[in-house]
Amino acid sequence: MRKKLLLGNWKMNKTRPEAKEFAKGCGEMVEYAVSHGIDVGVAPTFVCLCPVLKHAPKELIVAAQNVNEHDHGAYTGEISIPMLKEIGIGWVILGHSERREYNGETSEACNLKIKALLANDMVPVYCCGESLGTFEEGKTKPFVEEQIRVGLADLKPEEAEKVVIAYEPIWAIGTGKSATKEIAEETIAHIRGVLASMFGAPVAEKIRILYGGSVKPGNIAEYMSMPDIDGALVGGASLELDSYKGLIEGLVG
């Protein structure tokens, strides 16, 4: 049975003191999650990684929001895998719709990063999702399928099972709108079918697929009731301790 996962994406929020305050205050709720067999984590900005690592319980997964596939070089403004590993980071979010839109990140670029992370025994959290126009045209499944096939191209089955997938319909991110649990389940089940065609059904059954898109304490339990949804990648609702606690409680059920 796949283990549930809650990952908070802080995006460009929180100063170092604010991140430290969150980290110092999350111990009890992390312990509660772990005691119920749930993995929990947050993805701070680069400057907040160290404060969170230092002050949070060791059970809290701390992920970066991006990484460069090269170990070093003339890549101004970038962060390398060795830099993240040196401070103790083992997870990285890739392909978020905001990075795809604002930074031109492609599925092909994510594929290079995924391979580099896996070669360094790190966990990629690979995001996929469609625009409102694509959704309204009924083209969600082929659009997301292409993102999966390109992003995970040329991986071995034993590598693919280490990847976490996050399905986030762009029209539901930060808009207050959210896909119904049935829409989310239908798309995520399709993604699992694509993974089965690429890597075999046993591997596809091991891969955790999260839902993201205006997930809140009040609706997370609905999504978790669906068989193919293994957790949530949450933005704004993960920034405050009380809200984060509510998300965990919703996951526990």
Q: Which residues are catalytic?
A: 96, 168
How big, in percent rounded to 5, are the helix, strand and coil portions of the chain? 50, 15, 35
Sequence letter at residue 156: K
Count CB-CB contacts under 10 A for residue 217. Answer: 18
**Could you give the angle at the alpha carbon of 89 between the alpha carbons of 245 and 231, nearest 5°?**
40
Dist CA 253 CA 250 (whole Å): 5
Dist CA 17 CA 200 (whole Å): 46
The answer to whether the CB of 252 falls within 8 A of the CB of 230 is: no
The number of angstroms, rounded, from the C-alpha of 183 to the middle of its chain's C-alpha atoms is 19
What are residue 7's phi and psi, to 5 degrees?
-125, 120
Dist CA 165 CA 238 (whole Å): 18
Count CB-CB contacts under 10 A for residue 181. Answer: 17
R_g over Cα of the chain:
17
Element (H, E) at 63: strand 61-64
Partner residues linked to 92 by β-bridges: 64, 124
Burial label for 124, CB within 10 Å (0-12, 13-18, 19+), is: buried
Partner residues linked to 7 by β-bridges: 41, 233
